[in-house]
Amino acid sequence: MIYLVVVFGYLACAFAIGLYKMRSVKTQEDFMVAGRNTHWLLLVGTLICTWIGSGSLFGGAGLAFRMGFSELWMSAGAWVGIAIVYFLAPRVRRIAEFTVSDILEKRYNQWARVLGSLSIIIAYLTIAGYQFRGGGRLLNILTGLDPTIGGLITCIVTILFTASAGLVSIISIDIINGVIMTLGVIVGVPLALHAMGGWGQVVQNLPADHFTTFGSNDWVWAAGVFFPTFFLLMGEGSMYQKFFSAKNENTARKAVIGMIVGVIFLETMLCTLAVIGSSKYFNLAPFSEGGVLNKAVTETIILHLARFDLPPLAGALLIAAGVAVILSTANTFLMTPSTSIARDLYQRFINPSASDRQIVRLQRILIVVLGLLAYILASFFKSILDMAFTAYTFVGAGVTPALLAAFLWRRATPVAGAASVGAGMIVTLLITIANVAMEGTTASVRLFGIHLLPMETDYIIIPAAIASILTLIVVSLLTPPPAEAKWRPFWNK
């Protein structure tokens, strides 16, 4: 009972804040970028909560269960990406747009904007979808409810919260979410370690490769899980949208420092918690069946620990952290694609004279429609980790190379920027479609003896990013240099 009280108490608090903040939303700037008046501490909270989602709580935890501490290669990609973003954040805030697609059009052309928007919409619906799936699993562990029904309930709750006051409500609740997440793992790790019999028992119960640099894999696998988060982080539209909400450039930079400290701490603790839990359940059903680990079930290890292995109060706190992780990420990844459609497509191409009230109304409708689409999309993937890597690659290979070049390479041309986005998106889409079509069959595609399709989602980023980067470089060198007016705003000090 205590677990349900905590969950419903948290949701009641979140909705109260959303309804209160709803009164302050009068313009699209209020709804989309929180009036560009966000304090750096609030920005730290919302940036951390955006990144630490079901991809970490479920996908990363499941990978840590199966592979041990080598899972941190996946997390490390984001850490390095954040360090690079530190140097870009002030310039991003100075441009003061609404979306990443605004930047792509300003630096390149309208086609870069359209293709970038499509990549972001597809990726973020996928990310929102696996938050709903994570919520379904959480409710299943707490109540036995069918995960599909639980996912639908999570979807509806997220839609209602996000549509209430947009980014204002998200930022307001995320500082609370950050505190809950931090307390949850600080309390959870030592208690879980005690419940498993101490660190010596954990090491004894697990394969030795769980404590090595690459686990049971090699450096190619490490690169495959490192680069999706690395490229995603640097092209992550909701993060840039939150930079646009900062009071000024200094606020944006302070927030990045806080973000990297918080993300490294939380992801390391979540990985540790999953490894500790795996020491008890590594060979037990339903996590292992016939000596084979069930990929989807291993992703529930942290919530399973909270429900069945920790003292009730500590478990309830960790469950609350799980709810915070899911809701904070789900609402952000509904907010960003709805902003992209309203701002980058509708206002830019269909109705440039739309009033603030019309845009806010449209965006609320879009949040409902996109939320339901995200819920449906989640049914096409076997695991949350598969969804995560696919979504990360849509942004990481489709948007990030052109976005970074906007700030770092004056020679990048408008045609090359658009072509780069298109190349990354198309390669990712083709591989994903081929994987779905070939699932359950013995068919495969090989080139010079190398297995290409179906391709493990761990490796999709490699061909997609290569296609995007090569297209950007080659097309830029084959086309006339851009006018100074195109690159100068991105280089002003």
Provide the pLDDT for residue 102: 84
Summarised one tens digit per residue, pLDDT across range 125-157 is 999 999 999 999 999 999 999 999 999 999 999
H helices of 96-198, in order, are 100-107, 110-143, 147-165, 167-195
Provide the pLDDT for residue 202: 97
For the segment(s) 2-383, the CATH number from 3.40.1390.10, 3.40.50.2000, 2.70.170.10, 1.20.1730.10 is 1.20.1730.10
How far is CA 217 from each of CA 68, 178, 296, 333, 401, rounded to the nearest angstrom?
Answer: 11, 33, 20, 32, 28
| Rounded average pLDDT over 387-391 | 92
Beta bridge partner(s), residue 451: 446
| Rounded average pLDDT over 464-484 | 97
Provide the pLDDT for residue 215: 93
Which residues, in sequence order, are CB contacts of 40 under 8 Å at separation 6+?
246, 247, 251, 252, 254, 255, 258
d(CA 48, CA 255): 10
Tell me, yes or no, if the pTM score tops 0.85. yes
How far is CA 192 from each of CA 195, 304, 319, rounded to the nearest angstrom?
Answer: 5, 11, 14
| Rounded average pLDDT over 214-227 | 92
Q: 172: which DSSP letter? A: H
Mean pLDDT rounded to a whole number for the chain: 87
pLDDT class for 221, splitting at 50, 70, 90?
very high
Residue 3 pLDDT more than 70? Answer: yes
With a pLDDT cut of 90, the percent of the chain lying above it is 56
| Rounded average pLDDT over 216-224 | 91
Provide the pLDDT for residue 24: 61
